[in-house]
Chain A
Amino acid sequence: MSQSPSPSTAPAFRLETVGMDALIVRLFAAIDEAHMPWILAADNALRQRFGEALIDLVPSYTTLLVHYDVARLSQREARQWIDEALRGLKPASTETGREHRIPVWYDDSVGPELTRIAERLGVDTDEIVRRHAGRDYCAFALGFSPGYAFMGMVEEALATPRLKTPRQKVAAGSVGIAERQTAIYSMRSPGGWNILGRTAVELFDRERDEISLFRPGDRVRFEPISREAFIEQGGDTTPLEER
């Protein structure tokens, strides 16, 4: 997966019927961070064009799902509106996405796969931490649970398949990787990602103005912190496997 520069002309898109009141706008064929400015620009243009007739708009790696109000328009009209909205599209500036620094306590007790991955690569766990925290990740899409962002790309050598048997319960704040993606569990849930550590940051907080910390297109960098700092931030040190 190349980090190619953003194409300077608008990508050709395809419209696919996916339901009575939903269309998929397919912009790209592969996952690439360079595509996000186009996805964000399309997101913005579609929101503007549809206004009140938009029920939900779900951007993902290469697509946007447009769920519109059929009491207001037919699918033929929706297709026309999408065509109009995306005509002459310009990529969003890379500043559109916000930047986040997420403090993480990387430790075997809360991240049992830290050692497993280190052993596989023949390095110590500090090296894994340095490499996982050593780059910016792009939030490609939110899903799985409220506020949960699928981020990438993890360095090729760290890529690890999902656990064969998912855990029944993964603690909220657990930081994991699956293949070349990384994510933070936004709430306690079952899950099969390889867990490296834990953050005390709340990803989905209904009392906050921005309920979800992340939005599609945001950039995220992990910051290794000590156990003491994690506790100071209100982190829960209960080992993962005891939960």
Chain B
Amino acid sequence: MATPEISRAASGNAALVVEGTGPLALVEDAGRFGARHLGVTQGGALDWIALGWANWLLGNAPDAAGIEIAMGGLTLKATGRMAVAIAGADLGATRDGETLPANGSFVLEPGQVLAFDQPRAGLRAYLALPGGIDAEPFMGSLSTVAREQLGGLDGRGSALRIGDRLIAASVAAETREMPCAMAMPQDEVTLELVTGAQIAHFEGASLFAAFNQAWQVDSRADRMGVRLTGPELRCQLGGMISEGIPLGAVQVPPDGQPIILLNDRQTIGGYPRLGALSPLACARLGQCAPGTSIRLSPVTPHQARKAYLQQLALWR
């Protein structure tokens, strides 16, 4: 995934001013790549598919930077006329009080207020601006990683704050209509898991349980990882020497309860793993509220790749 070339110095472009904030709103793009060997995590939008659609609705590159709005609570006021798009979770978005669709593009007139209330379906909505967001990238990315004090509008890993100005990276946008529905996870969600890593060291009964019983999304969930609760998984491996860990890695610490490692995970780790979720499954997990029932479905790298490339092809 290449980082978008954003034309900078677009200071004359319209802006959205932050007037109110909720739990967490972050500048995110596809992530920061090429520095994991230095301990720099990948970051990026958890639901990269929703960010991709929000960008597509404005004619942006799918990996252009947008805003990841978790749980709502964000209020923005337009300083000038600007086309914007939203996709992903339904956070009850309104324009001057008028209800907006969860997925679509629309125009804000000067002084109009775009507000996100709270989740009706899913957890995270993505807001795209024409061309992306005008700010200084670090190592090719604007993705915000609070723990590493990297990315975001200030380059220091800060979440959006009242008074922040979101400036569009370009003036014009080529707005489009959503060509398909974007469903949010409901009560039970299937997540594809590319099996591998240390899976051969787990006990047979544990593997049977892992793929045949339901898991629950725990409340201990953030951008680093999501804990699942369910059957206790036993692994015969004792201590492991730390190694690089991919996105979506399903690691099982000694308590037998898996943790799915997401975009802001540490770059190396030493717990045995069943493999890693497919990128499409990672995006879906980013929308699953605590208590959601999860089924893990084993897939091959080939199957996961095919589905991933099909998704990318939709944006060409």
- A-side residues, CB < 8 A to B, are 16-22, 24, 30-31, 43, 55-65, 67, 69-71, 74-75, 141-148, 150, 186-187, 189, 204, 206, 211-212, 215-216
Contact = CB atoms under 8 A, between A and B. Distances in A.
Contact of A58 (B37, B194, B275, B308): B37
B275 A19 contact: yes
B196 A18 contact: yes
B257 interface: no
A143 B268 contact: yes
B252 interface: no
A17 B301 contact: yes
B33 A70 contact: no
Contacts of A24: 197, 243-244
A187 B148 contact: yes
Nearest to A58: B244
Interface in B232-277: 241-249, 266-269, 273, 275-276
Given A22-B246, A31-B241, A61-B241, A212 B279 contact: no
Which label, helix, strand, loop or mixed, suits the secondary structure of the B interface? mixed
B213 interface: no
A159 B268 CA distance: 22
A47 to B, nearest CB: 10
A64 B269 CA distance: 13
Q: Which 6 A-B pairs have the closest CB atoms?
A: A65-B244, A58-B244, A19-B276, A17-B196, A143-B268, A19-B246
Contacts of B244: 22, 24, 56, 58-60, 63-65, 67
A154 to B, nearest CB: 16
Given A21-B246, A55-B33, A71 B309 contact: yes
A57 B37 CA distance: 6
Contacts of B276: 18-20, 22
A189 B14 CA distance: 37
A142 B37 contact: yes
Interface of B: 1, 33-40, 42, 138-139, 147-150, 155, 194-197, 241-249, 266-269, 273, 275-276, 278-279, 301-302, 304-305, 308-309, 312
Contacts of A150: 242
Given A17-B301, A19-B196, A55-B33, A211 B38 contact: yes
Nearest to A29: B241
A90 B241 CA distance: 24
Contacts of A186: 39
21 contacts: A18-B249, A19-B246, A22-B246, A43-B37, A55-B34, A58-B243, A58-B268, A60-B241, A60-B243, A62-B243, A67-B244, A69-B1, A71-B309, A141-B242, A143-B266, A144-B39, A146-B38, A146-B150, A204-B38, A212-B38, A216-B37
A183 to B, nearest CB: 11
Contacts of B33: 55-56
Given A19-B196, A22-B276, A215 B246 contact: no
B302 A74 contact: yes
Contact of A62 (B36, B42, B241): B241
Q: Which of B42, B150, B276, B301 is the most central at the interface, judged by chain A CB atoms within 10 Å of its CB?
A: B301
Nearest to A31: B241
Contacts of A187: 148-149
